[in-house]
Structure 1
Amino acid sequence: MPKLLFAHQLRGIAALLIVITHYFGVYFGAQAVVAGVTFSPELQLVAPNWVRHMDFPYFKGPFGVALFFLISGFVIPFSLQKNSGAGFLLARTWRIFPTYLACLGIGLLATYLSARYWQLPFLLDLQRLLMNALLMHNLAGLASLDTVNWTLAIELKFYVVAALCWRAMLGSKPLVFAAIAAAVIALDLALPSLEGIPFVYRVLAGLGTDLNYVLFMLIGTLFYQHYRGLLTLSKLATGAVLLLAAFIAAWHFGTQRDQVPVLAEYYVYALLVFALCYGVRNRFRPVRVLDFFADISYPLYVVHALTGYVLLKVIMHQGLAYGYAVCVVLAMVIALAWLLHKTIETTSSEYGKRLAGKLRRPAAAPAAA
């Protein structure tokens, strides 16, 4: 749909901002984390002076992640229109997992080769691998293998909420959204009392953390409802402000409360930018480069971290300066993401849509004459 081009192109921008943040920021600023996930030593790398120009004040990785969440909240109801709840979940499963598992496999191969290169042991816990592959690692209190799949785990929770509450998604039922927000905040408030039951606390803490972000994604759904003529502009603005407040409150009461002062502002900026682009959505036009990155945004997002970090460290260790090395790695990762998009992502997504088509929600019966 031409009027949805703004959301598609914003997805490409979001992916690029995340990659830039990781390669120009995290790579130098969180070297212990990068070393841990790539089975490589800490090299005490120092960023060249020009890298500081890539440190965009308000438009960093968290801003890109927030944009991704809003875009999902906006576009997912369009899929709900076409499918039953079961069909929708089936289609989304085929949309997410084949590409993700392929990217995870490539990343793990890269880390194995990294361990061999640096002559370090490749120690990978089987439970952690399995739970990461299923995107359930946070519920088990296990760390991410690739540092980016936490957003996919949140996406899955949003899909379940959408399938269960499809009437509220496709209609205008603010009380349902209010009930979801109240339930999430209540869960966050109840968590401290459950610390004495480790297993229950671990599962509910992981679930509560993900559901906090679902509240932010529901703001995107309000834009969908306005787009469909189900909400007035004033109701959209009011609902967005209330859900944003609920999201920040849930974040503040949850297990990630220490992140609020640092990261919450990026979500506010993302909402403002998304709202502005939505307001001028009719002015968006195809832009070949931007549309290209939008098309490959999902595999680019999932494959760039592990594979890119490994390549950067090895290429620099071989003597190539960072500026040249990062250009080589960007080209390689973009080419890999394009290949994954053309093969696995497109094929599996279309297959999932065909399967979901067999479970379409029946149309309403015509009224009796």
Structure 2
Amino acid sequence: MKAGHGRLAFAHQLRGIAVLLVVISHYLQLFWERPEVVDRHIGLRLEAGAPPALVAWLADAGIATGSIGVAIFFLISGLVIPISITRLRRRFLLARLLRIYPTYLAALAVNLVVYCASHAGAAMPWPGPLVLASNLLLLNPYLRIASLDMVNWTLAIEMTFYCLAALGWRWVERYGRRAIVATGAAVLAAALLLRIGMPDGGRGMAMAVVGEFVNEAMFVSFILLGTLCYLHLEGRLTTRALLLGLAFGYLGFCAIWLVLVRSHEIWRVPMNYLLALLIFTGSYFFRHRFRGGAWLARLADISYPLYLVHALLGYCVIRLLMAQGQPYSLAVLVATCAALGLAAVLHQRVERPSLHYVARCCQIVRPAQEKMRRS
């Protein structure tokens, strides 16, 4: 659902902020902090020199703009997806597939062209069939296969949320926040069992699938914090109950994270998710005063295709220009313009037609629902 008007206009414009934060993360932070990751994805090596001072400042402050952006996207989904479920009912999953996949497939085709071009001359200049198929079906996290576009792991989480939401929405409608609390508790219990049963991370395909599902369910528990805002929006939660639910829900997410994650930076993601929660919650409470401007609305319109195509294309442009002696700042500017232009084309040619088709599905379903109610 496109929340571009009325009481959810703030959520749509937050998409523009979220995608901007993700682009900054990839072009600024990941480019300098994890050059080996960039090398592995685009096959172009370059000694880039000293990073900008801002990179060190963000690292010292523990700020990961990409984590903040992704978390905002998750919370937006938690808020708007319940509205889509109540409108579409049984056709919800079909509508989500039609919303997600046309643009994703077009972006994947673009990323494959970029991938093959950047790996030209390599021993394996194209991804293998298993890599391609798993990325195509968004199953690569379950198979422990790297993402081709560096971002589709979040789409896999979104798809898991859609399936769980479609299966359990009547439970949420009936029990409200208690259903959400129970979901978080179930994920925490599963995480504890997984940690006890697989103390070293586990081996084998079955354990990998189970582990990835629990990992995705952990993020779903965070997405459900946005659903608490939906319940408040519909008058089913008081403001006090909402704030308590957000606080305890976030603490539950942190508990699951502590159980599952084995990292020396164990608090970095939870702290950045807290920043995202504060940004989202503040925007929600001041939604009637939220004014982002036309530029932010336009950025929000193309946020999905921009999210999908900016990474590989941007890294290739930056590396190639810097290899020609161009300054990093100019290379980033050109890469950003290229990504924005390509995203705008995909939005016009692919995303908008798919959105119109989904809207037609809504118009088909609603008269049928009215007829059922009257009979």
TM-score with structure 1 setting the length: 0.91
1:65 aligns with 2:70: yes
1:255 Cα deviation after fit: 4.5
Match of 1:303 among 291, 295, 309: 309
For residue 284 of structure 1, report the CA deviation from its aligned partner.
1.8
1:143 equivalent in alignment to 2:151: no
Deviation at 1:264, TM superposition (A): 0.7
Which segment drifts farther, 59-68 or 149-158? 59-68
Cα distance per residue 1:202-243 (max 9 Å; x no partner)? 001111111100000000000011011111011111111121
Q: How far did 1:121 drift?
A: 3.7
Q: Which residue of 1 aligns with 2:39?
A: 35
**Gapped runs of 5+ residues in structure 1?**
none
Do structure 1's residue 76 and structure 2's residue 49 form an aligned pair? no
- Closer, same or farther in 2 for the Cα pair 1:165/1:256, shift >3 Å? farther
Question: CA offsets per residue over residues 315-357 of structure 1, 9 Å max, x none?
Answer: 2223322111111111111011111111111111222343455
CA distance in 2, matches of 1:92, 1:247: 25
Look up the SS of the partner of 2:91 in the other structure. helix
The one of 340, 361, 373 equivalent to 1:365 is: 373
Does the 8 Å contact 1:20/1:54 carry over to 2? Answer: no
Find the partner of 1:234 among 237, 240, 248.
240
Q: Root-mean-square deviation (CA), in Å?
A: 2.3
CA contact (8 A) 1:90 1:355 kept: no
Aligned with 1:207 (options 184, 208, 213): 213
Decide whether aligned partners of structure 1 residues 35 and 261 sit closer, same or farther in structure 2, where only a CA change above 3 A counts. same
How far did residue 144 of structure 1 move? 1.4
Q: Look up the SS of the partner of 1:365 in the other structure.
A: helix
Q: For residue 309 of structure 1, give the secondary structure of its aligned residue in structure 2.
A: helix
Work out whether 1:26 is the aligned partner of 2:30: yes
Structure 2 CA distance for aligned equivalents of residues 143 and 48 of structure 1: 26
| Residue in 1 that maps onto 2:225 | 219
Alignment of 1:155-174 (within 5 A): 155-170=158-173, 172-174=175-177
1:339 alignment partner in structure 2: 345
Contact conserved, 2:202 with 2:208, CA < 8 A, in 1?
no
What is the Cα deviation at residue 274 of structure 1?
1.2
- 1:204 and 1:255 mapped to 2: Cα distance? 15
Which residue in the other structure is 1:4 paired with? Answer: 8
Structure 1 residue 45: Cα displacement:
1.3
Distance 1:13 1:80, change over 3 A: same
190-199 or 143-152, which moves further after superposition?
190-199
C-alpha distance in 2 between matches for 1:213 and 1:169: 18
User: More deviation in 292-301 or 53-62?
Assistant: 53-62
CA distance in 2, matches of 1:172, 1:191: 28
CA distance in 1, matches of 2:173, 2:295: 33
Once the two structures are overlaid, the 10-residue window that deviates more, 285-294 or 252-261, is 252-261
Distance 1:286 1:22, change over 3 A: closer
Partner-residue secondary structure (3-state), 1:314: helix
Q: Could you tell me how far 1:173 is from its partner in structure 2?
A: 2.1
TM-score w.r.t. the length of structure 2 is 0.90
Residues 99, 196 of structure 1: CA spacing in aligned structure 2 closer, same or farther, 3 A cutoff?
closer
Work out whether residues 119 and 126 of structure 2, in 8 Å CA contact, stay in contact via their aligned partners in 1: no
Q: Letter of the 2:279 partner, please give it.
A: V
Counterpart of 1:349 in structure 2: which amino acid? L
| Structure 1 residues 10-45: Cα deviation after superposition (integer angstroms, max 9, x where no partner) | 11011001101110111121111001011223x221
Match of 2:281 in 1: 275
Aligned pair count reads 364
What is the CA distance between 1:143 and its match in structure 2? 1.7
The amino acid of 1:68's aligned partner reads F
Deviation larger for 304-313 or 281-290: 281-290
1:113-137 deviation line (CA, Å, top 9, x unaligned): 1112x65641522112111111111
Partner of 1:125: 128
Q: Retained in 1: the 8 A contact 2:172–2:179?
A: no
Give 1:263's aligned amino acid.
Answer: V
